[in-house]
Structure 1
């Protein structure tokens, strides 16, 4: 049995030198000066489209034959039952287990246990009978996780935030602390989850865990555990209904504890590609060098890096003219990897639901091509793994 801990959180607003001068340029304020929405502040995000505009473009592209759904009839992505460390002090290394899509369970050598963007349901949808359905099953259930100290949520979209999943985690791990972007804490408290801390970009929180000695033997885990949780920029959007677009903040995250650090990219774009370019055109070619890149990732690398491990999105990117502003492809992911100064990385945001139009097995293939183009090893630096597989760093 994993040692039980209780945590306290101390929020640390951004200070001089820990954030860029334009740290709040993503805020949208009303005439009273109150923050009411959020925006992507850089030209790299391109034109901002409404949900209706995106859906209209998708429907028209399907009608005209410009896009087609990928074939999932012969999906051959391995799914294995995960194994977790037997105790909080079992390994001096960082251990990360992919649980599908953007969800990772990370065991820090300090004893800290962190769950990123957990969604265990079959569908990422407001309802259980409609919407994208898994073509690879979850490798385990929330009940199989030995301990959860922190749950980090990148944003409110259904493939990253599930009411059923977070409610089950809070029930099974009542001491778990949830970390979310600005505006999202109310959704959690309305859902009956009170241990939630919301942060703005460039803000940090200090998480201190103390063992519950009355519950387990002191020999089953380390003593006090310290961690820093950093809310960091990315380029995306938010919303769970047609009426709340961008009302809550999307974010990437940094987590450090016991001398090891993880950068979680969550869900993000890097540079918007023009509709003039189709998916057969190399949008990192000479003709596209002028496209602006999001400078936030280089700032993350400078102000919070380096990181021992990056969990970086590589899927849900076609057609590029529709999704590039919001979703990184493998070429973007390698640039983010370099900008944020990650030493190693694992690919996320693929292999689970059909959200866009690239073929199921394409992201890992393009990832190797992107690494090769940059003169980097095709394996051993930025990899993918089976669903349920663990890697140590």
Structure 2
């Protein structure tokens, strides 16, 4: 798919370090759009799919043979899942630090801001068993949340009970078409972005980038809102890429070329089995390592595993496979940040 975002401005960004342009031959980064800008979006984003959604034959096969949970042997390792909640690291305005709260929820400290990604602090989400590891950071231990970024509207990434805990004037950055969901819940500072668009908060730039996924929250809203990941760039030019939920594909190379110098990629490694059903929308561990190399990330931190049982692979298998894939790729071991739930790392 070569579709270009229909509303990305071509105005060059400033020449500061944080807005360093893409590699030669690629268009300049879009100038940041105003926060909480009113936008009008198309009724559907089906044209952004990189693979067709499952048809009747695939659904019938899944009903006939699809396993959605591991067997007893695959669940036996739940007590061994790494979980080590600890205090958040001390930071200042020039520190970049991440703490994994579980699944796709991170506490990102960047440019003096505290940013939550896809925050899910609930014990349960719709349609799945209760979480198998506790939340890695107590809600009461969070500093003031300066912004929330959402990758898409699936229930394991957009959790209404968690979001109700936030002050309604918290800046929320969301994919195109998802703003009305937040406006209905009386959030007042909601910014919707198309792919390759950006906004800025207190000197930190937030770019919304493509992903190989889809969106759906009810029976009637399939692909009515967009999906994607986020590149956060601080005033010193350090970059954190949060991939959201995604399969493997061509977008990673394009992201890496457009945003050179990504310091840390937060990439999903779980919910991949059976592959015939999930390969288009969820990376397996080996693909996640390839994606980290495609975007040119110096470090990779795995996510989207060890929290909710969403598919059929054994619960510890994603961690074992990502470590093996990293070693086989000949990458420095210290650059794989395979954190326990609740673990933190600081970019040096």
TM-score scaled to structure 2, two decimals? 0.83
Question: Residue 226 of structure 2 corresponds to which residue in structure 1?
Answer: 249
Q: Which residue of 2 aligns with 1:280?
A: none
**Preserved contact between residue 315 and residue 350 of structure 1 (Cα < 8 Å):** yes
Specify which of 314, 322, 327 is matched with residue 359 of structure 1. Answer: 314
**2:62 aligned to which of 47, 58, 64:** 58
Say which of 61, 85, 97 aligns to 1:81. Answer: 85
Alignment partners' CA distance in 1, 2:174 and 2:86: 26
Deviation at 1:38, TM superposition (A): 1.3
| C-alpha distance in structure 2 between counterparts of 1:59 and 1:142, whole Å | 38
Are residues 68 and 119 of structure 1, via their aligned partners in 2, closer, same or farther at CA, if it must alter by over 3 Å? closer
For residues 283-322 of structure 1, the aligned pairs below 5 Å read 294-322=249-277
**Aligned CA distance change for structure 1 residues 142 and 14 (closer, same or farther; 3 Å):** farther
Task: Give a deviation string over 1:347-384, Cα, whole Å, max 9, x none.
Answer: 0110101101111111111112222332223x212231
Taking a change above 3 Å as real, the CA distance of residues 361 and 313 of structure 1, as seen in their structure-2 partners, is: same
In the alignment, which of 43, 49, 54 is matched to residue 54 of structure 2? 49
In the alignment, structure 1 residue 123 sits paired with structure 2 residue 124: yes
**What residue number does 2:338 align with?**
384
Is 1:205 the counterpart of 2:199? The answer is yes
Cross-structure match for 2:297: 342
Higher Rg of the two aligned structures: 1
Partner of 2:179: 185
Question: What do the CA deviations read for 1:201-230 (whole angstroms, capped 9, x no partner)?
Answer: 00011213xxxxxxxxxxxxxxxxx11000
The CA deviation at 1:151 is 0.5
Q: Where does residue 374 of structure 1 map in the other structure? A: 329
Change (3 A) 1:99 1:304: same
Runs (4 or more) in structure 1 with deviation over 6 Å come to 16-21
Q: Is the 8 A contact 2:151 2:230 kept in 1?
A: yes
Between 150-159 and 138-147, report the one with greater CA deviation.
138-147
The 1:68–1:253 alpha-carbon spacing in structure 2 relative to 1, beyond 3 Å, is: closer
Which residues of structure 1 form unaligned runs of 5+? Answer: 1-11, 24-32, 209-225, 271-293
Give the equivalent residue in structure 2 for 1:150: 147
Say if 1:354 and 1:55 are closer, same or farther in 2 by CA, change over 3 A. Answer: farther
Contact conserved, 1:72 with 1:135, CA < 8 A, in 2? no
Match of 1:219 in 2: none
CA distance in 2, matches of 1:303, 1:189: 31
Question: For 2:309 and 2:152, how far apart are their aligned partners in 1?
Answer: 19
The CA distance in 2 between the partners of 1:132 and 1:72, in whole Å, is 12
Aligned to 2:10: 15
Match of 1:262 in 2: 240
List alignment gaps of at least 5 residues for structure 2: 1-6, 13-20, 30-39
Q: Distance in 2 between matches of 1:196 and 1:177?
A: 6
Q: How many residue pairs end up in the alignment? A: 315
Are the equivalent residues in 2 in contact too, given 1:84–1:146 (CA < 8 A)?
no
RMSD: 2.5
In the alignment, does 2:48 pair up with 1:36? no
User: In the aligned structure 1, how far is the partner of 2:57 from the partner of 2:118?
Assistant: 27
Is 1:14–1:204's contact at 8 Å kept on the other side of the alignment? no
SS for the counterpart of 2:253 is helix
In 1, Cα distance between equivalents of 2:255 and 2:11: 15
CA distance in 2, matches of 1:159, 1:57: 24
Residue matched to 1:291: none
What are the superposed Cα offsets for residues 154-191 of structure 1, whole Å, 9 maximum, x if unpaired? 0000000101111212x2xx552110000000000001
